[in-house]
Chain A
Amino acid sequence: MIKPSNIEIDREKGNFHYPTSKYAFDAGVGLSEDVVKYISGVKNEQDWILDFRLKAHSIFEKKPMPTHWASRDLENIDFDVIRYYLAQGQQPSRTWDEVPDDIKKTFERLGIPEQERKFLAGVEAQFDSEAAYSRMKEDLEKEGVIFVGSTEGLRDYPEIFKKWFGKVIPTSDNKFSALNSAVFSGGSFIYVPPGVKLAQPLQAYFRINAENFGQFERTLIIADEGSEITYMEGCTAPKFETSTLHSAVVELVALKGAKIQYITVQNWSNNVFNLVTKRAMAEEEAEVRWIDCNIGSRLTMKYPGVILKGRKARGEVLSIALANDGQHQDTGAKMVHAASETTSNVIAKSVSIGQGRSSYRGLVQIPGHLEHCKNNTECDALLINSDSQTDTYPAIAIQGNENSVQHEASVSKVSAEQIFYMQQRGLNQAEAMSLYVNGFVNDLIREFPMEYSVELKRLIDLEMEGSVG
């Protein structure tokens, strides 16, 4: 009775494409050692980085596709037709005026400069393989905050970044972390000095512009003792007939007492394979929170994790996934408790629309020698149509008497009576469905900082509660 097309979700926002002048740097089509060497060469990298890349390339070639547990749709990725590096240059501009017009026009249409003016402490805007723009407020620079791209980070601050680079997520973690390690370009390298608390978020925006392209950004955030940072990423691409690959590696390090909040609003077009590895390490009393919102892509596989390494560390994943026709959101969370008194919380909500499919995969590990560890996991799925799909794969390994775990899962459908009730109040079917979906994810949306409504507004009707009295 309810057609998927009735649901108003703004998936079209990023679906535009301005003709781009020729890329000055192009690694060609397909993947080989030469491509890896080309990328390393244009970046003037030190030998150890090239070695790291080449080793990763050979691991990628040896590793099979994980189709024994994951979607067979992975087999449709043709690594030989993808372009692995496209850039107009390696040095991002510090002002929007210096950004080439065609690229600037794209980011303006996406509202990035406007957001920067309004509420951000810094912005990096990546266009295909490299950042076209990167800037952080000066006072943060004075406090010693570093916010640069991966190339610059490894080149200019090796003493800070080399120590953790590839340590939270080893190259061999999975086939796609190996691929990223071989051809990575762009992404953010952030260091927040001890005790520095960023009042405003840093943001990265990832834009895929070229067809048959693969974007492989690499992000490493180190929050030193007692520091606090919120990082936000958004992403879009125009819709092409051919598939596009996005495969990032994101590593977070929260040292003693530090807090990292990492927010993603993923709105890739439906031809993008989004295969991302995200993991954090939390030392004593540190807190890491992943807020992950996936509404785009053809296939997303992403399970943000936290390794709770120090006593009283806390990890959290709040996840929203919307899967429409032709989409599979395979998302979840990993919580690895490696110290006593650590706590973790996972709340995942998925909405499957039309023939969309959402899967939840969760991993919780608490070994028996630890004490007073807690995990709470809730995953709720909402099915809109009769051919919508959802599945849940929780893997919980808890040992020891002093640890506790709580797991709740639910699957619900919108009833015809609920729709009729909302229609009787004047909402048409699409508005009724939108309102219902908004209600379903509402308690998670509240966790998003208000400012991110820029991305979420079309999706979510913001709570006006309490704003007037």
Chain B
Amino acid sequence: MSTLQIDNLSASVGKEQILNNLNFTLPKGEVHAIMGPNGSGKSTLSKVLAGHPDYQVTGGNASMDGTELLGLNPDEIARLGLFLAFQYPVEVPGVSIANFIRAAIKSRLPEGENIKAVEFYKELYLKMDGLGMDRSFTSRSMNEGFSGGEKKRCEILQMSMLNPKYCILDETDSGLDIDALRVVSEGINQMKNPDRGILVITHYQRLLDYIVPDKVHVMWEGRIVRSGDKTLALELEDKGYDWIKEEVAAA
């Protein structure tokens, strides 16, 4: 029951079928990586799980700790405990980081209950320190004018403040220089715990130097075509994706 469980999931956007009978299980306490070439459906998987309205589920199931996710609104899925760190975080002009996170936390509280401001800021500042974010950042508008690294740190900051049960990190390494990559990875590693499952979606192996996965899955043509331990990532780094594509074609 304590899993993010995906069975025979198929989904399309417009007329294009992107996910094809995808099966995948992420138990709590583990870190999994999904790798794959561009266009294999990695980001689509994350959006479908998060309930993005542009994607139509055409078959299968996806559940989180036994609760069916498909058909729920994105905010319901989020409040159940699924966090998606975006590949391209979106700007929300005029809304400060602090107010944005406060609103997100408040959405999880019972009606009438309020956030204790002092404790909130204490926690926020502590986590920002850990991510090497200047405290003045709290008053900056959400993602507006942020560098790539700042955007990704801000995603990790939100993730750690919202205390999700399952985290999906979509290409979090893209646009990061090596220093930022290290800091962001440390932030993710600190999120590891026995009550949380983490799914890292990435194109490149280099992120996995910092976040060591329990399992690596390779995605191609909308499904998982191979799974293995962390050495699979190194093999992909070494040989590229073509051999996987050939294997799939042969089968």
Name A's B-contacting residues (CB within 8 A): 1, 415-418, 420-429, 431-432, 435-436, 438-443, 461, 463-469
Contact = CB atoms under 8 A, between A and B. Distances in A.
Interface stretch (B21-29, B92-100, B192-200, B241-249): B92-100
Given A423-B75, A463-B99, A465-B138, A435 B53 contact: no
Contact of A426 (B79, B138, B139): B79
A425 B141 contact: no
13 contacts: A424-B86, A425-B103, A426-B79, A426-B104, A431-B75, A431-B107, A435-B95, A435-B99, A439-B93, A439-B141, A440-B93, A464-B117, A465-B98
Given A425-B107, A426-B108, A420 B92 contact: no
A461 B103 contact: yes
B229 interface: no
Contact of A420 (B74, B83, B104): B74
B75 A429 contact: yes
A426 B78 contact: yes
Contacts of A431: 75, 103, 107
* 5 closest cross-chain pairs (CB), A and B: A439-B94, A439-B95, A423-B74, A426-B107, A421-B90
Contact of A468 (B50, B95, B118, B141): B118
Contacts of A465: 96, 98-99, 138-139
B162 interface: yes
Most A CB atoms within 10 A — which of B51, B54, B95, B98?
B95
Contact of B107 (A417, A420, A428, A468): A428
Interface string B67-108: 000000111011100011010011111111011101111011
B70 to A, nearest CB: 16
A464 B96 CA distance: 10
Interface string B106-148: 0110000000011001000000000000000011011000000
B52 interface: yes
B94 A438 contact: yes
A307 to B, nearest CB: 32
Interface of B: 50-54, 73-75, 77-79, 83-84, 86, 89-96, 98-100, 102-105, 107-108, 117-118, 121, 138-139, 141-142, 158, 162
A229 to B, nearest CB: 30
Contacts of B75: 423-424, 426-429, 431-432
Contacts of B91: 418
Contacts of A1: 53
Nearest to A445: B94
Most A CB atoms within 10 A — which of B94, B95, B117?
B94
B95 A426 contact: no
Contact of B162 (A423, A426, A466): A426
Contacts of B99: 435, 461, 463-465
Contacts of B90: 415, 417-418, 420-421
Nearest to A418: B90
A435 B98 CA distance: 12
Contacts of A422: 92
Nearest to A421: B90
Nearest to B85: A424
Interface of A is mostly: helix
B95 A425 contact: no
Nearest to B94: A439
A467 B74 contact: no
Contacts of A436: 92, 95
Contacts of A432: 75
B104 A425 contact: yes
Contacts of A415: 90
Given A435-B103, A464-B98, A465-B98, 9 more contacts: A415-B90, A416-B54, A417-B90, A421-B89, A422-B92, A424-B77, A425-B78, A439-B95, A465-B99
Contact of B100 (A425, A440, A469): A425
A207 B237 CA distance: 72
A427 B107 contact: yes
Given A431-B103, A431-B107, A440-B93, A424 B74 contact: yes
A402 B51 CA distance: 58
B95 A416 contact: no
Nearest to A435: B103
Contacts of B138: 465
Nearest to A465: B139
Nearest to B138: A465
A80 B241 CA distance: 81
Contact of A467 (B50, B54, B117): B117
Given A463-B99, A464-B99, A425 B93 contact: no
B53 A424 contact: no
B92 A418 contact: yes
Contact of B121 (A421, A425, A429, A468): A468
Given A416-B53, A425-B107, A435 B74 contact: no
B27 to A, nearest CB: 23
A290 B89 CA distance: 37
